[in-house]
Structure 1
Amino acid sequence: MEKSRIGFVGLGLMGHGMAKNVVEKGFPLTVVAHRNRAPVEDLLGHGASEARSLVELARASDIVLLCVTGSPEVEAVVAGSGGLASAGKPLMIVDCSTSDPSSTLRLAAELEPRGIKLIDAPLSRTPRDAEAGTLDVMVGGEPEDFERARPVLETFAGRIVHTGPVGSGHTMKLLNNFVSLGYAALYSEALALGAKAGLTPTIFDAVIRGGRMDNPFYRTFFQWVLDRNPDAHRFAIRNGLKDLNYLAAFASAAGIANPMGAAVRNSFAMAGATGNGEKFVPMLSDIIAELNGVSLAAG
């Protein structure tokens, strides 16, 4: 059976590895450059084609994957001047970004009469998993749309969960990130408290690692804390704060008290306000320690 023609927008830390898996596993791929040409040149070397505009990319594709920062970028790419919808053709758009579910629902409803299907398929795990093709994907969309997108998602995913209708994938992604970013804030505060009491990160880790509170996110986080590996989790604090802001808006709209979410958000907002937004999430541990007058680097 002839494979769908795939377009890809957003060749950043996650998107480049995803797109490489798409083209290496036999799907015709078209990409578009943004600021950095290096990932585009790499993908062209693997057999991808390059479009000069979003409209040209849409006309060359049956399914377009988006992996951009958030809802403002998604709305601009899809519905803005010269965006994908301007091509005026039937299309499936798969939004792999972490977006605001309310924006996703509104955009999907606006596109439907124009013959454009929008489904949400946000991601979990790291750029290393994107490269390895072992991402987790949460998909919101009608069953037939999910099945149409599944073969493409399988090129870069190790686990795919159909969460329900459009918007449910982005909602689940917010909950997933709330839990993981909550762990990050909790570990950071616990490490600062421990350091104040003379308990080093090494001692902390000796107790937690292998015990009931151990988990894969903890292991990734502590690759920075103990080994100073800057590539352990390449997800910026500013992006974490963006997701926590989406969560706060979602909780407010749902009428749900979200005190833990507010506390986690404040940790990330404080890190951003002190000029640390571009640092990666595990580095929150050093920021919280420094603000409390202690250091984790020695131990």
Structure 2
Amino acid sequence: MTRFDQTAADAAAARQAQLTKPPGSLGRLEDLAVFMAGWQGTERPRLDRAQALVFAGNHGVTAQGITPFPPAVTAGMVANFDAGGAAINQLCRVAGADLGVVALDLDRPTADFTQGPAMTMAEVADAMARGADAVDPQAQVLLLGEMGIGNSTVSAALAAACFGGRAEDWVGPGTGAHGDMLAAKVRVVTEGLARHAVTGTRDTLAAFGGREQAAICGAILRARELRIPVILDGFICTAAAGVLTRDDPDALAHCLIGHESAEPGHRRLIAALGMPPVLSLDMRLGEGSGAAVALLVLRAALECHNGMATFAEAGLV
């Protein structure tokens, strides 16, 4: 598997030490510049080409009354993405990312995971391949997001299966579940965990779904092959990515978590992965929106890293 270029990272860190500022005074911006240097394999990483991908899927578990919105909303939001009317369209425009939307068989929802596996292994492989194929080999950073009515329930199940704990530890309101509906989400995840004994990435995805989560996994693996750093979005995207650590604890080394979602399980997931988010803005929209805002911060980090004068260049030594 492609590895971090420590030599390039060390050169970037040495440059940071020479820039016209007190050492460490740009905080996390300095760390982000060094991270990008290591994955791009150059002392001066660039962000001329950023790609954002939003994967959309539907889930049979919505039949359990776990969401206030019908599955048809997924297709409606995909149409909104295509028309340029969603938050992610505006954020990608201002952050300078090319947006691609991949709808994954919306007319064929995954199965209800309380009744059996959500997907066959062939369906998992297909969704992962479609995620991998969507990655632009020329991109210098990849932003990942999702859309799918019911997928916060799926994500809670994935997180619990991978990192332990009870359903109550991971289930949150998602698109607005409260009271009896929130209790239904807890029940559904509890039943799914009791039904499915899983150990690896693909069987976990097959057990709980969904297609968009599997596509996210495929895109992350392809980005690693291509040395493309990845910015993950919130709880749903991070839960999908976390499934990869079942097969390889180092699978997300090239990834950043763009923001800490207001969805309650995300903070627990961040702690389990040991990956501090770039931002915390109480966002919980999905769509890759938090990843797109984090891209703005990443751009700021590289502008300082590449554009600032060293003390020698400024005649201060």
* Interval of TM-score (by shorter of Structure 1 and Structure 2): under 0.3
User: Which structure has the higher relative contact order (CA within 8 Å, separation 6+)?
Assistant: 2
Q: What TM-score, normalized by structure 1, do the two folds share? A: 0.27
Q: What TM-score, normalized by structure 2, do the two folds share? A: 0.26
Could you say which structure has the higher strand fraction?
1
